[in-house]
């Protein structure tokens, strides 16, 4: 029952979660008012994978129906050039067979070609892992080439979003890297010319504008952007585009500097309907997903290493200023630190996937008197038993001469606190609760009590699904409790069950109390109890009544009262029981 209900909840959750990172979807159109009506019908008998169709029309001097400037053997126009590149393509090529690589490229470029055609551009050439497109001035709207090019850039990122679904379905279980693209656009004078002789003539574009667009695309790796355009192109394109960060890009071998601007979305036209607005929001969400993947790849590039060297800001290393070396992994950046452990984002050199490494320096531990390593081993022993979609995946435990480590799943979507900060609707709150309860049901079935349920330990995947993480202080119902130091509080005060505050035995209902506290915060934006000190907050958990929800949320008070009852005996007996109550009380249907 948990599994089927979670499937229902997932239909509501990702759309709202996706202000942060959205579930990938399929959408290959612009709003009708944004689609230029000038694109020629594609001749399906000619393969688009080469630019022969375009070249033939150019050589004949034919005009698309919208009226482009007539191309000649050699002409100069003021237009916009777009470069797109598949990020980490070599990682895909290494793991796919030759025929699969061809299928992979054709499947993506089929998606990338369509918006170019829609927006009256033409494909100059296909590179091994990229594409070059040209947008010329039209007779009736000679200055809209930049606008069309930037729209295509956004639509290609949207196509990349849906292409991740294609990869997952076509190559299940292959553990391929996350798919992302980088796009660079510049506007200026472009020479269109025919090169070659006889039957080997190809139409191409040359000049500084082409070189700058290519440079902008390559710099997306170092900048960590999805789309980089020049300020020239952005100014010509108009004010509808949502712009992000800015930077200066230097052309190699030249003193020329280009002002680069990040493109992150497109504002809807004022006359558009709410459904149209949802499409524009989807564009921005797709860029956010792509950029998040970019951020992971960015730290691996030579450009970033050169940046660190030139500025003197070296990446974080160990206290002895020596890099940590783990066989089979490459550490990318430090994510955080707590107690004796450090957490890093790393690349698995075998699977070429990003994982999180939790490390404990063994040399700094007195094994006879310090239980840090014992808790670390205890965490792996607990999590490695679990295989459930709402529980973080753990992959491996290992040891070096200096560290013990655990490798686990990486979550590009952040954690539940990110979602809470965006004031989720009651529908999203109940959908999130159901997924959390699904994870609790799985761990409780194995006798595991999490003991530290808080928003920071509920992670968000790219598809919007939630997973419980950080079992560092979890306990097993059949094992002896790990000792605590005098005055030590194991858990987070804002979500601590009364029995934890009093250092009494815990069970599954302890996690339900903490989950109820999180549910209150999802609904209201505030934790249930606040105080000037830890002791003040713990006193309220033990002694004050369950807080009353604001007007408009009264229908959730009964479930909150039973989840956060001061006595464990008065709470729901299990996570499954909470789900059954949600169903029987009609809380889902009333949303």
CA neighbor of 88 nearest in space, from 347, 460, 461, 413: 347
pLDDT higher than 70, residue 322: no
pLDDT higher than 90, residue 230: yes
Q: Report the range out of 34-38, 132-136, 361-365 with the highest average pLDDT.
A: 132-136
- Measured in degrees and rounded to the nearest 5, phi and psi for residue 164 equal -60, -35
Locate the domains of the chain by residue range.
43-304, 317-409, 416-476+490-584
CATH superfamily of 43-304: Nucleotide cyclase, GGDEF domain (3.30.70.1230)
pLDDT higher than 50, residue 24: no
At 26 the pLDDT is 24
At 158 the pLDDT is 93
- Average pLDDT rounded to a whole number, residues 213-225: 88
Q: Give 170: exposed, middle or buried? Use CB within 10 Å, 0-12, 13-18, 19+.
A: middle
Q: Give me the residue label for tokens 């200055």.
A: 143
At 475 the pLDDT is 62
Residue 399 CB coordination number (10 Å): 11
At 422 the pLDDT is 85
- Average pLDDT rounded to a whole number, residues 192-218: 82
Of 111-120, 351-360, 379-388, the poorest mean pLDDT is in 379-388
Side-chain-side CA neighbours of 395 within 13 Å: the count stands at: 19
Summarize pLDDT for 495-517 with one digit per residue, the tens: 999 999 898 989 999 999 999 99
CA neighbor of 82 nearest in space, from 212, 237, 269: 212
pLDDT higher than 60, residue 481: no
Whole-angstrom distance, CA of residue 135 vs CA of residue 165: 29
At 583 the pLDDT is 87
Of 12-21, 241-250, 326-335, the poorest mean pLDDT is in 12-21
CA distances from 73 to 139, 196, 209, 260 (A): 20, 11, 19, 32
Instruction: Indicate the CATH number for domain 317-409.
Output: 3.30.200.20
pLDDT, the chain, mean: 77
pLDDT higher than 70, residue 174: yes
pLDDT band at residue 272 using 50, 70 and 90 as cut-offs? low
Q: Are 241 and 150 in contact (CB under 8 A)?
A: yes
At 378 the pLDDT is 61
Q: Report the range out of 21-30, 107-116, 295-304, 349-358 with the highest average pLDDT.
A: 107-116
pLDDT band at residue 45 using 50, 70 and 90 as cut-offs? very low
At the topology level of CATH, where does 416-476+490-584 sit?
Transferase(Phosphotransferase); domain 1 (1.10.510)
At 58 the pLDDT is 41
pLDDT band at residue 339 using 50, 70 and 90 as cut-offs? low
- Average pLDDT rounded to a whole number, residues 84-97: 87
Cα pseudo-dihedral 42, 48, 51, 57, rounded to 10? -20
Identify the residue with better confidence: 309 or 73. Answer: 73
pLDDT higher than 80, residue 437: yes
Q: Give me the residue label for tokens 């009093």.
A: 502
Which DSSP symbol is given to 157?
Answer: H
Q: At CB < 8 A and 24+ separation, what contacts does 482-485 make?
A: 482/371, 482/374, 482/375, 482/378, 483/371
pLDDT higher than 90, residue 522: yes
Helix H segments across 119-205?
145-170
CA neighbor of 153 nearest in space, from 76, 235, 238, 264: 264
CA angle 335, 339, 344 (to 5 degrees): 20
pLDDT higher than 80, residue 142: yes
At 432 the pLDDT is 93
pLDDT higher than 60, residue 397: yes
Share of the chain above pLDDT 70, in %: 71
Q: Is 493 helix (H, G, I), strand (E, B) or coil?
A: helix
- Average pLDDT rounded to a whole number, residues 316-320: 41
Summarize pLDDT for 540-560 with one digit per residue, the tens: 999 999 999 999 999 999 999
Q: Are 527 and 538 in contact (CB under 8 A)?
A: no
Q: Give me the residue label for tokens 């070659």.
A: 196
At 343 the pLDDT is 85
Q: Are 320 and 361 in contact (CB under 8 A)?
A: no
Q: Give me the residue label for tokens 């949802």.
A: 278
pLDDT band at residue 89 using 50, 70 and 90 as cut-offs? confident
Tokens standing for 285? 């969400």
At 34 the pLDDT is 34
Share of the chain above pLDDT 90, in %: 36
Identify the residue with better confidence: 41 or 434. Answer: 434
CA neighbor of 167 nearest in space, from 389, 156, 175: 175
């Amino acid at each position: 029952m948990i599994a089927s209900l979670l499937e229902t909840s997932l239909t509501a959750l990702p759309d709202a979660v996706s202000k942060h990172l959205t579930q990938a979807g399929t959408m290959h159109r612009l709003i009708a008012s944004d689609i230029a009506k000038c694109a020629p019908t594609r001749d399906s008998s000619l393969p688009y994978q080469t630019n022969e169709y375009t070249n033939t029309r150019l050589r004949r001097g034919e005009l698309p129906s919208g009226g482009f400037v007539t191309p000649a053997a050699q002409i100069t126009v003021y237009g916009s050039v777009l470069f797109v590149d598949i990020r980490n393509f070599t990682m895909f090529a290494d793991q796919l067979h030759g025929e699969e690589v061809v299928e992979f490229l054709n499947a993506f470029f089929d998606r990338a070609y369509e918006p170019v055609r829609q927006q009256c551009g033409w494909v100059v050439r296909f590179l091994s892992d990229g594409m070059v497109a040209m947008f010329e001035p039209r007779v009736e709207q000679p200055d809209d080439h930049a606008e069309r090019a930037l729209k295509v850039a956004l639509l290609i990122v949207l196509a990349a979003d849906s292409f991740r679904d294609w990869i997952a379905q076509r190559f299940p279980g292959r553990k391929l890297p996350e798919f992302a693209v980088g796009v660079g656009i510049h506007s200026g004078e472009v020479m269109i010319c025919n090169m070659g002789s006889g039957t080997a003539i190809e139409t191409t574009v040359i000049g500084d504008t082409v070189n700058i667009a290519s440079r902008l695309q390559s710099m997306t790796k170092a900048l960590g952007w999805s789309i980089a355009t020049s300020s020239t192109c952005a100014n010509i394109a108009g004010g509808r585009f949502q712009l992000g960060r800015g930077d200066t890009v230097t052309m190699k071998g030249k003193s020329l500097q280009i002002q680069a601007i990040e493109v992150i979305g497109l504002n809807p036209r004022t006359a558009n309907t709410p459904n149209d607005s949802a499409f524009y929001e989807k564009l921005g969400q797709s860029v956010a997903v792509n950029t998040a993947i970019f951020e992971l790849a960015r730290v691996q590039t030579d450009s970033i290493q050169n940046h660190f060297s030139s500025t003197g800001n070296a990446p974080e290393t160990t206290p002895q200023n020596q890099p940590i070396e783990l066989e089979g992994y490459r550490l990318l950046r430090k994510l955080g630190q707590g107690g004796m452990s450090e957490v890093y984002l790393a690349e698995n050199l075998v699977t070429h996937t990003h994982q999180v490494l939790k490390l404990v320096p063994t040399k700094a531990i007195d094994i006879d008197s310090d239980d840090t390593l014992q808790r670390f081993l205890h965490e792996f022993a607990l999590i490695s038993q679990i295989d459930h979609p709402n529980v973080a995946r753990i992959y491996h435990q290992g040891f070096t001469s200096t560290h013990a480590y655990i490798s686990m799943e990486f979550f590009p979507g952040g954690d539940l606190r990110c979602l809470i900060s965006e004031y989720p609707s009651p529908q999203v709150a109940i959908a999130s609760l159901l997924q959390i309860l699904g994870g609790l049901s799985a761990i409780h079935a194995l006798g595991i009590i999490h003991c530290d349920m808080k928003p920071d330990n509920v992670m968000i995947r790219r598809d919007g699904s939630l997973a419980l993480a950080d079992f560092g202080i979890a306990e097993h119902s059949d094992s002896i409790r790990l000792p605590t130091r005098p005055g030590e509080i194991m858990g987070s005060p804002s979500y601590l069950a009364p029995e934890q505050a009093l250092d009494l035995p815990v069970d599954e209902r302890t996690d339900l109390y903490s989950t109820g506290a999180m549910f209150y915060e999802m609904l209201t934006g505030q934790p249930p109890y606040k105080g000037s000190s830890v002791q003040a907050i713990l006193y309220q958990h033990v002694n004050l009544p369950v807080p009353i929800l604001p007007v408009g949320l009264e229908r959730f008070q009964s479930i909150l009262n039973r989840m956060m009852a001061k006595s464990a005996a008065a709470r729901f007996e299990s996570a499954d029981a909470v789900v059954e109550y949600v169903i029987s009380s009609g809380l889902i249907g009333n949303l």
